[in-house]
Structure 1
């Protein structure tokens, strides 16, 4: 543990968005980490011409402008995997994704110190309950990886708190002896905290998590509604003979996965796309696939799908605009189609909420309030799946993007 007089920086390093805060003059304070904003996208862009990294909205803008370089997002999801330590050429030198995450955290640290006018050697970081749902070994490895990234970023020490527990600390809106369940749906994971209010702070009764979040929603929508326009599920001829088979699935799975898109901008994936085009019965979709890989616009697809998801959730339908691939190309998305694509994810999230109760001595009918946090918690299909299990509970929506950092900032001063 750090000395009480030593300032500790609370950091919400999220799959999609990040934020920082600390205790200032006895009260939690969120730092403006990008301009006047207290949150920034967990996005990274390496500018080839300037030979420098930029992060957050600046990284997004570099991608939108078409600057020459490499864009990366959702790197938190590869913690604990071998991909994190694979070396790639970038800017004339070999780097790993671990190096890139460390660079992101270092920039966060520097910005926080500049704004706060003090040094932060110690961090209190949020973490999902499970980085990887099914593997204790990968969970332990992911935590070790993230710890090392913080150390490489210049922190002398880092401690961790479950993200839903931090969100619970930030929610003072429950009465004495009320039972509340945090449902935190982030970019890469969904996490839960069952708690009661206490004389000081809260009593945490159970925490749980599942590796399903907003990026999984985007991936499924992309696979179901966009990738078929690029050749997914199309038939190709065998190189020898007259038989046909479906095009390989993995290139489309990777193109629909935020963290894996950069790996497709290499020689082998482009060669595969060219081979598929050559063997295809219907060549038009594979012409588009070649365009996407050659022009490196995979992330443009991911952003278009994300925008379509949000618009359909709000308005009932949208057209996923893909005109940057081919004039007038789009994919229609309706509430019915969205629900069908996300049905399994929503059920897994709902099941994990009920499993959280099984870790305690309480039942769903005893829960007074269900508090939704995280950007993806506003998807209507989430409430539709969870609400029927908690018929006697009030459903509340907390600050979607700052609930976790609010709690970490409070906890950093303890």
Structure 2
């Protein structure tokens, strides 16, 4: 029974097989080795759309519901809540199952093979603060694979998969920072063989960085922290925080669009000291602009990391509305998260009975591992280890292809 290696990620997903003994990431979309982990429910054509086409449908303002970051809901009550999608009532586990079925279908079309089994990457910890949620997340994901038509699925921690594909020899620490989690594997490579020594995981990733930046820079422009007056009297209270946290969280944005909530926000406009803020919020909710904002924050983060200055462009909300995001500012605002990542790396070494000066190299995997603040945090804690970058987006799927053999 042929097995397909699948790296189901918070932000991007890849699939891989071995070809002539070498791992190959399948071109799930034209010209790309991964595709966005994104789903669009097209209300006009009554169908589900996946990957880049889903993101494009959202950006073009087509009538439907866009979802991204669904991996983050695994293990939570949100995963099993029944919701109406087109003419069906489905759970988000079933939506993930349809997404994985699309991955299977595309992989079979590309390779000409039939895949009834999968070996899937998984974070070392889906939920680092809860054993129960962590166990439930794997149960949820296993169910999604079954719904996708896979008769069997095995799981391999993502940094351990990446370790199988990394070049070089010696003692190395794999640091895999993806959209939703940060994972660490201490391993030894000698004569082409890999020995895993210790692994740890932390529920902290790129989408958390985006949420922090959105709450700090964007949500105040929509009324986060602003005062709302009472219908009678002079008392005021701050706008409820939960709405802004959901609007800043990739996996929750799709579920904030509610007619009753929009009516409430329009009431805030009438009672607010600064009604312009809530007028913008009403526009975001009425026009379903939450994901547009999230993409703008993500783009600003990447730009500020790559140069001295980036920009969060919010023209979609209000023409000319832009926020400067400086590189030094980005490092400062994400320093606490970077410190947590660095400390978890040291904890992984301690689990393996290894001192920092005994690590030959730190190998970075995953899109968010490119943040300079994260790399500096690791350099401070392992100053003698050289830093290497593996195939950032495909190292895990290459390792899963080896494991599938």
TM-score using structure 1 length: 0.96
2:168–2:189: 8 Å Cα contact kept in structure 1? no
Correspondent of 2:375 among 380, 383, 387: 383
Q: Deviations over 1:67-115 (max 9, x none)?
A: 1111100000000000011122221321221111000000000000111
Deviation, 1:24, is: 2.9
Once structures 1 and 2 are overlaid, which stretch shifts more, 19-28 or 378-387?
A: 19-28
Please name the residue that 1:62 is paired with: 57
Counterparts of 1:39 and 1:365 in 2: how far apart (Å)? 35
Please name the residue that 1:3 is paired with: none
Alignment of 1:125-204 (within 5 A): 125-174=120-169, 178-199=170-191, 201-204=193-196
Does 2:7 align with 1:17?
A: no
Q: Deviations over 1:237-290 (max 9, x none)?
A: 134431222111111000000010011111232133223223211100100000
Please name the residue that 2:282 is paired with: 290
Please name the residue that 1:89 is paired with: 84
Counterparts of 2:74 and 2:381 in 1: how far apart (Å)? 33
Does 2:200 align with 1:214?
A: no
Correspondent of 1:403 among 378, 392, 395: 395
Please name the residue that 2:385 is paired with: 393
Q: Deviations over 1:26-77 (max 9, x none)?
A: 3322211112321111011111111111111111111111111111000000
SS of residue in 1 equivalent to 2:31: coil
SS of residue in 2 equivalent to 1:399: coil
Please name the residue that 1:73 is paired with: 68
Counterparts of 1:98 and 1:297 in 2: how far apart (Å)? 25
Counterparts of 1:339 and 1:207 in 2: how far apart (Å)? 26
Gaps of 5+ in 1: 1-5
Gaps of 5+ in 2: none
SS of residue in 2 equivalent to 1:381: helix
Counterparts of 2:331 and 2:241 in 1: how far apart (Å)? 23
Q: Deviations over 1:185-223 (max 9, x none)?
A: 000000000000144520100000100000001000000
TM-score using structure 2 length: 0.98
Please name the residue that 1:121 is paired with: 116
Correspondent of 1:255 among 247, 265, 275: 247
Query: How many residues of Structure 1 are paired with residues of Structure 2 in the alignment?
Result: 405
2:174–2:184: 8 Å Cα contact kept in structure 1? yes
Once structures 1 and 2 are overlaid, which stretch shifts more, 200-209 or 143-152?
A: 200-209
Deviation, 1:389, is: 1.0
Deviation, 1:142, is: 0.3
SS of residue in 2 equivalent to 1:226: helix
Counterparts of 1:126 and 1:137 in 2: how far apart (Å)? 20
2:331–2:372: 8 Å Cα contact kept in structure 1? no
Correspondent of 2:47 among 10, 35, 52: 52
